[in-house]
């Protein structure tokens, strides 16, 4: 079987607990799950690097899957940060990976950046050693501080580098690495002007690599969540960890509906993903409100479905008539790919305020409404929801605009571009 490069957690070791350690501490293990020497042609190893957050990691995973669908001979190895979400996800998925001690820089003059520089030097050394042994033909960086070392080493070693940027405002990693990247795949056309001038000719508007929508009948999706397919469904999501401000604004409106102070617009139903940390408190608040407002009732109304986290998100997206959400790039790309109008409440502390820029771009395109958290008022939020659900013409127009911006086949399109940078397949592959 093929030998995993020194320092890499092989697929067979991932998921056993070793993956949570620094990968550089693991000495040259053999991989029983890695591709065999006969299956992997020398020169087709491809490194995918990006992370820190799911918004940078999951595009890398999607692109690796799409590339291997086209080129089964490719050996995908992931490079991420010890402190990022990838330290949990990559071992759990049984993927070959290297975790390095890289951290994000603090803004401004900050003594902690001295530690960040030391960690960066260690990360560059670890990644350089990996590349020397692995000899990848291609490095793909999907942003975030976790992708910086792999992109820098690719430039120093003359390895082909391709970038994928999710947001309308390219991050620091993308802006720096774009100076020597072969291609820069962007999700937002607005991002081109925010790249260094020398990099702009190599920019491609490709979209974000999301799961391609599979046809799901509305009736089947409604049955899965025990909702009525004939009534509108509002999907409320606040990112993987939820959003307290969004949850509180939605809860306030639900309380007023249950108290009879306002009517339920269009007989709407809520598919509400609170985030794991907020589920219990929201559930208890709703149960308390229901008992106080609906004599004899002890359970949450059937038109509300609460979830801390939703694995069946494709089913939820097939049912949603309107989404109320943060403005992360991957979430908004899911809405666009399926033509779902959205009411976007950006996270106000996102790096470079990129969520606000995402929301502004989609609002200007007519695919969404932008509601800054600083202006978030429960009355205004519910007035907007009511107006959109009762104005079918506007909702349909937003859906059309969303579909025009959506690129449901982005993962496949980008993967085809990546494959063009690899050595050709040989006979019998």
Query: Could you report the per-residue pLDDT of 207-250, keeping only the tens digit for each?
Result: 999 887 788 999 999 999 999 999 999 999 986 555 899 999 99
Residue 14 pLDDT grade (very low, low, confident, very high; cuts 50, 70, 90): low
- Residue 260 contacts residue 233 (beta carbons within 8 Å): no
Is the pLDDT reported for residue 428 higher than 50?
no
C-alpha separations of 217 from 98, 212, 226, 257 in Å: 41, 16, 14, 30
Model pLDDT, residue 263: 87
pLDDT at 34: 36
Return left, alpha or beta for 247; rule: phi > 0 is left, psi -120 to 50 is alpha, else beta: alpha
Residue 21, pLDDT > 60, answer: no
Q: Tell me the per-residue pLDDT of 171-211, one tens digit each, with 9 for 90 and over.
A: 999 999 999 999 999 999 999 999 999 999 999 999 999 88
Q: Which residues contact 197 (CB under 8 A, 6 or more apart)?
A: none
Q: Which residues contact 420 (CB under 8 A, 6 or more apart)?
A: none
Contacts of 379 (CB under 8 A, 6+ apart): none
- How confident is the model over 359-398, as pLDDT tens digits? 999 999 999 999 999 999 999 999 999 999 999 999 999 9
Confidence at residue 26, expressed as pLDDT on a 0 to 100 scale:
30
Count how many residues are written for the chain. Answer: 429
Alpha helices in 178-293 (DSSP H): 218-225, 244-258, 279-293
Rounded CA separation 193/252 (Å): 41
**CA-wise closest residue to 216 among 341, 312, 343, 332:** 312
pLDDT tens-digit map of 55-71: 899 999 999 999 999 99
Q: Which helix (H) or strand (E) holds 149?
A: helix 148-157
Phi, psi of 34, deg, nearest 5: -75, 155
Q: What is the pLDDT of residue 310?
A: 86
For helices 54-70 and 329-338, angle between their N-to-C axes, nearest 10 degrees = 50
> Which of 61, 393, 374, 414 shows the shortest CA–CA distance to 359?
374
CA dihedral 50, 51, 52, 56 (to 10 degrees): 110
Sketch out the chain's domains with CATH numbers: 18-211+410-419 (3.40.50.2000), 218-405 (3.40.50.2000)
pLDDT one-digit tens code per residue, 288-310: 888 766 665 667 899 999 999 88
């Amino acid at each position: 079987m093929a030998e995993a490069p020194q320092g890499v957690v092989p697929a067979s070791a991932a998921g056993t607990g070793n993956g949570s350690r620094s990968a550089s501490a693991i000495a040259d293990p053999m991989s029983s799950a890695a591709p065999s020497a006969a299956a992997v042609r020398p020169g087709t190893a491809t490194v995918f690097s990006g992370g820190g957050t799911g918004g940078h990691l999951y595009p890398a995973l999607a692109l690796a899957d799409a590339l291997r669908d086209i080129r089964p001979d490719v050996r995908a190895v992931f490079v991420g940060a010890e402190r990022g979400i990838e330290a949990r996800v990559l071992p759990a998925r049984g993927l070959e990976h290297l975790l390095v001690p890289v951290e994000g820089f603090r803004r401004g003059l900050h003594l902690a950046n001295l530690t960040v520089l030391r960690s960066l030097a260690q990360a560059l050394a670890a990644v350089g050693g990996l590349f020397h042994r692995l000899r990848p033909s291609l490095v793909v960086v999907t942003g975030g501080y976790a992708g910086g070392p792999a992109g820098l080493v690719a430039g120093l070693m003359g390895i082909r580098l391709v970038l994928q940027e999710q947001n309308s405002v390219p991050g620091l990693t993308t802006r720096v690495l774009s100076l020597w990247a072969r291609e820069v795949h962007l999700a937002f056309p607005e991002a081109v002007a925010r790249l260094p001038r020398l990099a702009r000719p190599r920019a491609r508007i490709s979209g974000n690599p999301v799961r391609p929508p599979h046809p799901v009948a509305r009736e089947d999706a409604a049955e899965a969540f025990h909702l009525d397919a004939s009534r509108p469904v509002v999907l409320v999501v606040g990112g993987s960890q939820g959003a307290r401000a969004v949850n509180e604004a939605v809860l306030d409106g639900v309380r007023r509906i249950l108290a009879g102070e306002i009517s339920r617009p269009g007989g709407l139903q809520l598919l509400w993903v609170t985030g794991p940390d907020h589920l219990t408190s929201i559930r208890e608040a709703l149960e308390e409100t229901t008992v106080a407002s609906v004599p004899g009732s002890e359970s949450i109304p059937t038109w509300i479905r609460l979830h801390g986290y939703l694995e069946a998100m494709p089913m939820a997206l097939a049912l949603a008539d309107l989404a109320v959400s943060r403005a992360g790039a991957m979430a908004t790309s899911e809405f666009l790919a399926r033509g779902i109008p959205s009411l976007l409440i950006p996270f106000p502390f996102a790096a470079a305020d990129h969520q606000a820029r995402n929301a502004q771009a989609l609002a200007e395109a007519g695919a969404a409404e932008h509601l800054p958290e600083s202006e978030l008022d429960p009355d205004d939020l519910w007035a907007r929801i009511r107006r959109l659900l009762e104005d079918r013409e506007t909702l349909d127009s937003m859906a059309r605009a969303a579909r025009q911006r959506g690129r449901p086949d982005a993962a496949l399109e980008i993967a085809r571009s990546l494959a063009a940078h690899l050595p050709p397949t040989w006979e019998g592959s």
